[in-house]
Amino acid sequence: MTKLILTITLISFLFISCNRNNNEKQMNDNPLLTEWNTPYGVPPFNLIKTEHYLPAYNEAMKMHNAEIEAIVNSKEEPDFNNTIAALDYSGELLIRVDNVFENVNEANTNPEMQKIAKEVAPLLSAHYDNIWLNDKLFARVKAVNDIKEALNLTTEQQMLLKKVYDNFVRGGANLPEDQKAEFRKINEQLSLLSINFGENLLAETNDFTLVIEDEKDLSGLPESVKAAAAETAKEQGLEGKWVFTLQKPSLIPFITYAENRENREYLFKGYIERGNNNNEHDNKAIVSEIVNLRLRRANMLGYDTHADYVLDNNMAKTPDKVYGLIESLMDAGLVVAKQEVKDLQALIDKEGENFKLEPWDWWYYAEKLKKEKYAFDDETLRPYFVLENVQKGLFTVANKLYGLQLTERTDLPVYHPDVKVYEVKEADGSVIGILYMDFFPRESKRGGAWMTSFRKQYKKDGGNVIPVIQTVFNFTKPTGDKPSLLSFDEASTMFHEFGHALHGLLSNCTYISLSGTAVPRDFVELPSQIMENWAAEPEVLKMYALNYKTGEPIPDELIEKMKNAGHFNQGFITVEFMSAALLDMDWHTITEQKNYDVTEFENASLEKMHMIPEIVVRYRSTYFAHIFSGGYSSGYYSYAWAEVLDADAFEAFKENGIFDQATARAFRENILSMGGTDDPMKLYVQFRGREPKTEAMLKRKGLLKN
User: Which uninterrupted H or E stretch holds 233?
Assistant: helix 223-235
Query: Closest distance between Zn ion and the C-beta of residue 496, in Å?
Result: 6
Report the C-alpha gap between 568 and 371 in whole angstroms: 11
* Segment interacting with Zn ion, rule: CB under 5 A, options 2-10, 64-72, 360-368, 527-535: 527-535
Report the C-alpha gap between 249 and 251 in whole angstroms: 6
Closer residue to Zn ion, CB minimum distance, 485 or 531: 531
Query: Closest distance between Zn ion and the C-beta of residue 528, in Å?
Result: 4
Neighbours of 241 (CB within 10 A): 17
Amino acid identity, position 24 = E
Query: Closest distance between Zn ion and the C-beta of residue 700, in Å?
Result: 18
* Segment interacting with Zn ion, rule: CB under 5 A, options 37-45, 178-186, 253-261, 525-533: 525-533
Report the C-alpha gap between 148 and 80 in whole angstroms: 9
Contact 272, 620 (CB under 8 A): yes
Residue 205 interacting with Zn ion (CB under 5 A): no
Query: Closest distance between Zn ion and the C-beta of residue 521, in Å?
Result: 11
Residue 289 CB-density burial (10 A; 0-12 exposed, 13-18 middle, 19+ buried): middle
- Site size for Zn ion (CB under 5 A): 1
Report the C-alpha gap between 353 and 680 in whole angstroms: 53
Closer residue to Zn ion, CB minimum distance, 275 or 516: 516
Of 371, 393, 374, 386, which is closest to residue 566 (Cα–Cα)?
Answer: 374
Residue 99 interacting with Zn ion (CB under 5 A): no
* Segment interacting with Zn ion, rule: CB under 5 A, options 155-163, 524-532, 594-602, 631-639: 524-532
Residue 517 interacting with Zn ion (CB under 5 A): no
Residue in the shown chain whose Cβ atom is closest to Zn ion? 528
Strand partners, 434: 423, 468
* Segment interacting with Zn ion, rule: CB under 5 A, options 19-27, 416-424, 521-529, 618-626: 521-529
Residue 35 CB-density burial (10 A; 0-12 exposed, 13-18 middle, 19+ buried): exposed
Helices (H), 109-207: 111-132, 135-146, 155-170, 177-207
Closer residue to Zn ion, CB minimum distance, 489 or 552: 489
Amino acid identity, position 552 = E
- Three-class SS of 72-122: HCCCCCCCHHHHHHHHHHCCHHHHHHHHHHHHHHHHCCCHHHHHHHHHHHH
Q: Catalytic residues, which ones?
A: 497
**Beta strands 458-460 and 450-455, pairing class:** unpaired
Query: Closest distance between Zn ion and the C-beta of residue 469, in Å?
Result: 14
Report the C-alpha gap between 271 and 247 in whole angstroms: 9
Query: Closest distance between Zn ion and the C-beta of residue 526, in Å?
Result: 10
C-alpha count within 13 angstroms, C-beta hemisphere, residue 311: 25
CA 521 to chain centre: 8
Query: Closest distance between Zn ion and the C-beta of residue 451, in Å?
Result: 7
Report the C-alpha gap between 406 and 118 in whole angstroms: 37
Residue 669 CB-density burial (10 A; 0-12 exposed, 13-18 middle, 19+ buried): middle
202 SS3 class: helix
Report the C-alpha gap between 384 and 556 in whole angstroms: 13
Query: Closest distance between Zn ion and the C-beta of residue 450, in Å?
Result: 8
Query: Closest distance between Zn ion and the C-beta of residue 243, in Å?
Result: 35
Closer residue to Zn ion, CB minimum distance, 99 or 528: 528
Amino acid identity, position 299 = N
Residue 507 interacting with Zn ion (CB under 5 A): no
Report the C-alpha gap between 656 and 645 in whole angstroms: 17
User: Which uninterrupted H or E stretch holds 556?
Assistant: helix 556-565
Contact 637, 581 (CB under 8 A): yes
Closer residue to Zn ion, CB minimum distance, 183 or 450: 450
Query: Closest distance between Zn ion and the C-beta of residue 24, in Å?
Result: 43
Length of the chain: 706
Residue 452 interacting with Zn ion (CB under 5 A): no
Closer residue to Zn ion, CB minimum distance, 532 or 586: 532
Closer residue to Zn ion, CB minimum distance, 302 or 448: 448
Residue 528 interacting with Zn ion (CB under 5 A): yes
C-alpha distance from residue 640 to each of 26, 467, 522, 608, 671 (Å): 50, 30, 9, 20, 19
Closer residue to Zn ion, CB minimum distance, 122 or 447: 447
Query: Closest distance between Zn ion and the C-beta of residue 297, in Å?
Result: 29
For CA atoms 694, 697, 700, 704, the dihedral sign is negative
Report the C-alpha gap between 350 and 344 in whole angstroms: 10
**Beta strands 405-408 and 458-460, pairing class:** unpaired
Closer residue to Zn ion, CB minimum distance, 257 or 498: 498
Contact 61, 72 (CB under 8 A): no
36 SS3 class: coil
User: CA Rg, the chain, in Å?
Assistant: 28
Query: Closest distance between Zn ion and the C-beta of residue 475, in Å?
Result: 16
CA 421 to chain centre: 24
Interface ranges with Zn ion (CB under 5 A): 528
